[in-house]
Amino acid sequence: MVRNAVIEAIAKVTDIGEATHDGAGTRLRLGTEACVRLFVSTPSRPKATSSDTHIATLIMEETEGLSPDQVQTLQTAVRRIPFTTTEMKALRGQMPLTGELPAFLPPGTLSSLAPVLTVHHMTDFLVMVESVLAMGVPAQAITVLDKGYPYQHTDRVDAHLTRQGIAVWPWTNATDALDDHTRRAAALGLRGLLIDDGGYTLPVLLAQRPDLLPHFIGLVEQTISGITRLEPWEGRLPLPIFSVAESRLKATVECYGIADAAVRNLLRLLPEEKLEGRPALVVGFGRIGEHIADVLRSRRMRVAVHDRQLVRLIAAHERGYLTNRCLSTLLRDHRPLLVIGCTGRTGLRGEHAAAIGRNCYLVSTTSRNREFAVAELEEEARLVTDEGVLGTRLHLPSGVQVTLVGDGFPINFHHAESLPNMYSDLILASLLVAASTLAAPDHGFIAGHNVEASNRVLESCGLLERYYARFGPEATR
């Protein structure tokens, strides 16, 4: 399967001629002159990896006759292997709420809809897509927008979706994707539904293609930044919004998992760093920030907090954190080794650079690279260096080095799978419950925000009971 998947990916780039197999793998002639060699092997220390691990290696023996683009795409062929049946079975086992949801709902619950899914390209998403299909949506009625973060398995997820016949578009081309989606949905006699994680679609329709809005019945939003991005249209939103983002369910279960995943991935990227006893600064003491502060404190760091809302600053103070209303003062006096941005907006700007008096790491836990004003900070630096997987380093005129970990993108997705699928199961199942709610003609949601109605549905739909049965005191496994 692995060999065939790589060969299939190569065939999409160029014609494959003669194929020869010998002890040194499979040699494929491409076009008239080019040639690659493909090996599929098992690890030399099988006990050091999960069972059934295979390693695919593609050696470009000769690239004559191929364009630079073709060469680059070929190099990624080994990363574009759809998930095997064994892997999918394991993923379903991790995510029973999402995987089994179709059985709890009337058959064909989503069969009148054509969803646009802008959800992180991680393995949990594949189980969610299987359920969307099982809820009556044909593959050709689905559009996926790829948010383009460097998740651990992003190319494999992409390849898996494409093999299922699902249209995958880059988020940077959302306007064309939505146009194409609307035409496909209309041809199938279906109405569109937006299922979004970060405001990638409704703001685009509102700003650029309002003519397409009547083709959509609503928005399911997973994250606060998506709600924030709708602020310019406050009071005149034309579609009902089901906000999993602002739900009590999500705040209760997911935030700690994200904080933990963020810190764990940071430690993976900084294996030689010592955190205990050293200073950290959390900017933004909201749902995510308060858990980040707790996790860092449990790792024995000396944690300071800044939030622009006094009530949240006091919340941090009452929990025993060092606080200050002025971010520059905390940077100057607390001298943090880690600065963790949790505002979802832009918490740290070029003007703050002068207050940074020691080498430190800037780490975002929020959306895209908005958390730190990267361009402004780069302007303050005399030199910017590429630090590989760690990110970018800014060398300030003072001699201080500031490392923008993951180039300022959210750390929990940086070549990682964020929180374990056992957590995200509840959230992705909630998105599907939200979709099935909006699919019902008499859903009762009004145009605009429906936070309380969203809470009511999520807390009465049975997901929490099943979650508690699985992980609560009565759990049998």
Ligand X SMILES: NC(=O)c1ccc[n+]([C@@H]2O[C@H](COP(=O)([O-])OP(=O)(O)OC[C@H]3O[C@@H](n4cnc5c(N)ncnc54)[C@H](O)[C@@H]3O)[C@@H](O)[C@H]2O)c1
In the complex, the residues that contact ligand X under the rule CB under 6 A are 223-225, 258, 283-289, 306-309, 312, 342-345, 347, 365-367, 410, 412, 418
Please state, in angstroms and rounded to a whole number, the distance separating the CA atoms of residues 398 and 284.
27
Which are the contacts of 128, defined by CB distance < 8 A and separation ≥ 6? 98, 117, 119, 428, 431, 432
* Distance in Å, CB of 251 to ligand X, minimum: 7
CB-based contact 102:109 (threshold 8 Å):
yes
* Distance in Å, CB of 134 to ligand X, minimum: 26
* Distance in Å, CB of 475 to ligand X, minimum: 26
User: DSSP letters along 356-369, please?
Assistant: --S-EEEEE-SSTT
Which are the contacts of 199, defined by CB distance < 8 A and separation ≥ 6? 221, 225, 226, 227, 228, 229, 230
Nearer to ligand X, 114 or 348 (CB): 348
CB-based contact 403:362 (threshold 8 Å):
yes
Nearer to ligand X, 202 or 224 (CB): 224
* Distance in Å, CB of 378 to ligand X, minimum: 19
Nearer to ligand X, 102 or 410 (CB): 410
* Distance in Å, CB of 42 to ligand X, minimum: 34
User: DSSP letters along 222-266, please?
Assistant: -SHHHHHTTGGGTT---SEEEESTT-HHHHHHHHHHHHHHHHHHH
* Distance in Å, CB of 393 to ligand X, minimum: 22
Q: What residues does 41 pair with on adjacent strands?
A: 55
The residue with its CB nearest to ligand X is 286
* Distance in Å, CB of 233 to ligand X, minimum: 18
* Distance in Å, CB of 307 to ligand X, minimum: 4
Tokens standing for residue 61: 């023996």
* Distance in Å, CB of 362 to ligand X, minimum: 14
Nearer to ligand X, 186 or 310 (CB): 310
Nearer to ligand X, 130 or 307 (CB): 307
Q: What is the DSSP letter of 26?
A: E
Radius of gyration of the chain (CA): 24
* Distance in Å, CB of 291 to ligand X, minimum: 9
Please state, in angstroms and rounded to a whole number, the distance separating the CA atoms of residues 299 and 103.
42
Nearer to ligand X, 281 or 439 (CB): 281
Please state, in angstroms and rounded to a whole number, the distance separating the CA atoms of residues 207 and 210.
7
Nearer to ligand X, 59 or 314 (CB): 314
Nearer to ligand X, 84 or 328 (CB): 328
Q: How far is CA 359 from CA 301, 303, 368, 405, in A?
A: 16, 17, 24, 13
**Sheet hosting strand 113-118, strand order edge to edge:** 167-170, 143-146, 113-118, 191-196, 216-221, 240-243, 448-449
Nearer to ligand X, 337 or 427 (CB): 427
Please state, in angstroms and rounded to a whole number, the distance separating the CA atoms of residues 219 and 434.
9
CA atoms within 13 A on the CB side of 87: 17
What is the distance of C-alpha 475 from the center of its chain?
A: 29
Nearer to ligand X, 92 or 345 (CB): 345
User: DSSP letters along 443-458, please?
Assistant: --PPBEE-HHHHHHHH
CB-based contact 182:141 (threshold 8 Å):
no
Please state, in angstroms and rounded to a whole number, the distance separating the CA atoms of residues 211 and 135.
28
CB-based contact 283:289 (threshold 8 Å):
yes
- Rounded to the nearest 10°, the torsion over CA 293, 296, 298, 303 is -70
Please state, in angstroms and rounded to a whole number, the distance separating the CA atoms of residues 24 and 191.
52
Nearer to ligand X, 184 or 291 (CB): 291
Nearer to ligand X, 202 or 288 (CB): 288
* Distance in Å, CB of 285 to ligand X, minimum: 5
* Distance in Å, CB of 289 to ligand X, minimum: 6
